[in-house]
Structure 1
Amino acid sequence: MTRALVRSTKVVLLLLTTLLATVLAAGAASAAPQPGPPAPGPVRDLTVAIGPGSGARGSAFDASWTQPATGPMIEGYYRYEVTDALGKRVDAGRTDDTRAGTFHGDYCRAPYTFTVRAVSVSGRDGAETAGPPASASYGSAGSDACALHSTLAAKQTGPGAVDVTITSAQTAPVEVSGDCVLNVDGKPVWSGTCGGYKAKTAHVTGLEPGTHGLILVTKSPNGITYTDRGTATVR
């Protein structure tokens, strides 16, 4: 009886061990992260075209596309963003349609880049997988309408000191302005914002007697730089 009881106990323990291992394996499998849905392909036929609202300073465009040729898009949406000439994001969003509403911007920040990608969503757990981006540009970066030029007039105010008056001579509308740096003899001595309505005054000191070269470098909102030159005489 004792040997039979021992054998029975061993069988029961073996069955319990097997059952426990099975339960643990099933739990680990259910706890493991599930793969997301397959990634969709890139959207097709991306087009950006002039939209309503373009005007003297406005730059408006619409974007449209067709769904990817590959990858499931039964469940999913589209994610997009708009960046300006300097790469700064100026708009972003998502849509269930194959178009984005009209975007309004300042043409002095063109060209704009519109980027969109399809996103698949799992109907089981909501996991998302984004497809590759597709991009298109709109607007021109070379328009002289956004050029920022200035005249430089220097007046000595004391020993080794001059005031440089920076007056806008731009072809861009007066609302347009940009960062600028004034250099004297190749060294930066003042920085600020140039263009717009009001003249700026840069106070420069520590100059030796003689004629000094002035160079003003101004960056337009679209990233293009413009250079203006002048001289300052110190007696």
Structure 2
Amino acid sequence: MASSSAELIAFLLVISGWVLVSSTLPTDYWKVSSIDGTVITTATFWSNLWKTCVTDSTGVSNCKDFPSMLALDGYIQACRGLMIAAVCLGFFGSICALVGMKCTKVGGSDQTKAKIACLAGLIFILCGLSAMTGCSLYANRITSEFFDPTFIAQKYELGAALFIGWAGSSLCIIGGSIFCFSMAENNKTPRMGYVYNTAASAVSTRTKAYKDSTDFITPKASPKHFDKNVYV
């Protein structure tokens, strides 16, 4: 029962983390223009993995998609690949988690389901690591440009999508680790000891019943003492 509850909690964690990681891809604010040192702010610049936009003081946004994937900076291409890989891994991990959980009717024996659950945990750990690496790589570029005194172009700050991605990747790693530990919990041997005790008790019960039946069929004869004149 404890293992089933742990698997259910792990499943909720990994699904929540996967949803958060997936939601970062269409999120607009991966980086937002900084107002540090600016006296008058008439526009806000922001961008994500797919486009760059500017919003004026009236709230009107003008966006421009990145013209070519091959012309992008290397860190944006790497972040795209890592985030897409994290979403794909989360999809396959969800299927393996559903099959490997004890509360489902598919997957075969308990040992097979435990192995599938461990595989789902490893997949979700990879999903979390991929998403965390992508968000950290993007954040590292923002912070390095922000604190670089020789960088004179527009400086940016961390957007909301990065924090959502970090939260989702953390949930995936925690839930995947619980799935992996559930396999170790299932491989313990109290069940074998329980079967052995049952078999031993059954053997002892049968032996006792056999003895009782033997005693009933052939009762023990009381010792006889013959007198010396018995044949007379």
TM class, shorter-chain normalised?
A: under 0.3
TM-score (norm 1): 0.22
Relative to its length, the structure with more helix (as a share) is 2
TM-score (norm 2): 0.22
Relative to its length, the structure with more strand (as a share) is 1
Bigger relative contact order (CA 8 A; separation at least 6): 2
